[in-house]
Amino acid sequence: MRMSNIGLLLLLLSAGPTSADNNTYNGPFYMCPDAHGEEQKSLFRTIDITGMPMRIEGLGETRLLGYGAQIAASRSSEVMKDGDPVDKAFEKLFGTPNIMSGDENSRQLMAACFATQPPPKGDTDGPFVFMPGFLAHGDATLPSLDSVTIPPQTYLVVSYNGTTADIGNFRFTMTEEFWPKTAPILGLERADGPNLMIWAPGLRGNVAQAQLELWTPIKPFKINPP
């Protein structure tokens, strides 16, 4: 059964860590929240990103098929005591029978992180959705998976090649170091919209090494002539 945007939103807000029933969501999309507070930030560390290739690229309308995972307002120790909800979302995805059968080497793993409402004021972050799944081509569908349609947007794309365990630290470094300190010098500013992670074709998110790109929406920018 297909549901409206409101239907999927209510499902995401009321369901457990992961759920899917061929539901669809087309927005609104708000920025994926950064880590807030010392307890949450203590879960991550900064890493060296100076050698990672970066580029600016536009992406047309994109569909993601996967499991919508509603994550609590903060990945605090209270939330994490029962296991990382992000890890659980990947485990559910790859635990689905036949999810990688047939075209395992061509199916492209993708994940989206976004909020469905504006963030609260102050040094807090509201609940958000992390959805691992697969990049959909054309009208492709996969049984029992949710569908999120991401509107066209311009992104800063950063290539990551390292351990899967460090992906969270990679994103933490971008939000704590690059965006507040380096991006303003370059004239870049984040915009509302889903953060995307797109893995190299055939790679899975539950193995030790990862090769992926982090796509962060950016606001329009001017290129001044010399």
**For position 20, what pLDDT does the model report?**
46
Task: Tell me if 123 sits within 8 A of 24, measured CB to CB.
Answer: no
Type of residue found at 29: F
What is the predicted pLDDT for the residue at 6? 40
In a domain, 130, yes or no: yes
Residues with Cβ < 8 Å from 67, sequence gap 6 or more? 18, 19, 20, 89, 92, 93, 131, 132, 133, 145, 146
Residue 222 located in a structural domain: no
pTM attached to this predicted model: 0.81
- Which domain range does residue 57 map to? 5-217
Per-residue pLDDT tens listing for the chain (226 residues): 333 444 344 334 333 344 445 678 888 999 888 766 676 777 789 999 999 999 999 999 999 988 877 665 555 555 566 777 777 778 888 776 555 444 555 578 899 999 888 877 665 556 788 889 888 877 766 667 888 999 999 999 999 999 988 988 999 899 999 999 999 999 999 999 999 999 987 776 667 788 999 999 999 877 665 5
Alpha helices (runs of H) in 23-101, residue ranges in sequence order: 37-41, 77-80, 85-95
Structural domain includes residue 128: yes
Rg, the chain, Cα only:
17
Number of domains composing the chain? 1
Supply the pLDDT for residue 96. 67
CA dist list (Å): 180 to 43, 51, 82, 183: 20, 19, 32, 6
> Is there a domain that residue 200 lies in?
yes
Judge whether 22 lies within some domain: yes
The CATH number linked to 82 is 3.20.80.10
Decide if 224 is inside a domain.
no
Residue 54 near residue 214, CB atoms below 8 Å: no
